[in-house]
Amino acid sequence: MCDLFRMNDISENLKSILHKISRTAREYNHAPEGVTLVAVSKMQPPEKIAAMLAAGQRVFGENRVQDAQERWSDLRGQYADLILHLIGPLQTNKVRDAVGLFDVIESVDRPDIVRALAREMKKQGRDLPCFVQVNTGAEPQKAGVWPGDLPALLSLCAQESLRVGGLMCIPPATEPPALHFAFLRQLAQQHGLAQLSMGMSSDYEKAVALGATHVRVGTALFGARE
């Protein structure tokens, strides 16, 4: 009973969020199919993830390499079309595992990680698309390259043949997110990057309005984390 209820809940949440994404995209003249919903499954119970998979969702985001490995290694075999995004900070000693498991790395933010990812991708023969994470609010405690250091980091990515398709940000909790989304879009335009990963449960519609190609939604889809 309980599982059945949750299952319906989750598929309703998914439908409703996909609907809001399409509606907002159309309203602001963006192609709805150009926006990918990344379902952030970190710290969610396996039953809810199973329900999300049953509802047809295939793109998921995780912020820790080891948790993601435990959760997704087996499921990978069952769902050939699964796409896993790493959205959390990456340490150099986790790069090998990250490259082995994930399909997209969203948290490229410093030179040693660029070099380590490039080396490991060559070794494993996996040419994964990446996003560079920008610390748009220049918050000292937060991951992401500072906006002023972005050009040099992108040059290094090019030199190392890392496939960067876009930029990602997590705006400061205390500021209007739209300012940061607009700033990220401007930075991406300056560097000829087409993809923008921005927007979470509380602000994904604003992000879509401002041109997000990827929104990362956790609690609005799954409910509160454990």
Ligand X SMILES: *Cc1c(COP(=O)(O)O)cnc(C)c1O
CA distance 216 to 135: 16
Q: Based on CB atoms, which residue is closest to ligand X, 90 or 95?
A: 90
Q: Based on CB atoms, which residue is closest to ligand X, 38 or 188?
A: 38
Which range, of 27-35, 73-81, 157-165, 211-219, touches ligand X by CB under 6 A? 211-219
Can residue 98 be called a binding residue for ligand X (CB under 6 A)? no
Q: Which residue is nearest to ligand X (CB)?
A: 218
CA distance 86 to 131: 10
Taking a C-beta distance cutoff of 8 angstroms, is the pair 204, 217 a contact? yes
State the nearest-atom distance from the C-beta of 125 to ligand X, in Å: 28
Q: Applying CB under 6 A, which of residues 64, 88, 188, 211 lies at the interface with ligand X?
A: 88
Q: Based on CB atoms, which residue is closest to ligand X, 11 or 219?
A: 219
State the nearest-atom distance from the C-beta of 218 to ligand X, in Å: 3
Q: Based on CB atoms, which residue is closest to ligand X, 121 or 170?
A: 170
Site string for ligand X, 184-203 (x = CB under 6 A): ----------------xx--
Q: What is the dihedral of CA 172, 176, 178, 184, to 10 degrees?
A: -30
Task: With residue 21 as reference, give the H or E element that holds it.
Answer: helix 2-27
Q: Give me the residue label for tokens 């998914």.
A: 14
Task: Measure CA 53 to chain center.
Answer: 17
Which range, of 19-27, 113-121, 122-130, 217-225, touches ligand X by CB under 6 A? 217-225
Q: Based on CB atoms, which residue is closest to ligand X, 46 or 151?
A: 46
Q: Applying CB under 6 A, which of residues 64, 94, 185, 216 lies at the interface with ligand X?
A: 216
Taking a C-beta distance cutoff of 8 angstroms, is the pair 42, 218 a contact? yes
Pick from 64, 127, 106, 126: which is nearest to 197 by CA? 106
Can residue 113 be called a binding residue for ligand X (CB under 6 A)? no
Can residue 217 be called a binding residue for ligand X (CB under 6 A)? yes
State the nearest-atom distance from the C-beta of 83 to ligand X, in Å: 16
Task: Measure CA 147 to chain center.
Answer: 19
Handedness of CA 71, 77, 83, 84 (dihedral sign): positive
Residues in the chain: 226
Using CB under 6 A, list all residues that contact ligand X. Answer: 40, 42, 63, 87-88, 170, 200-201, 216-220
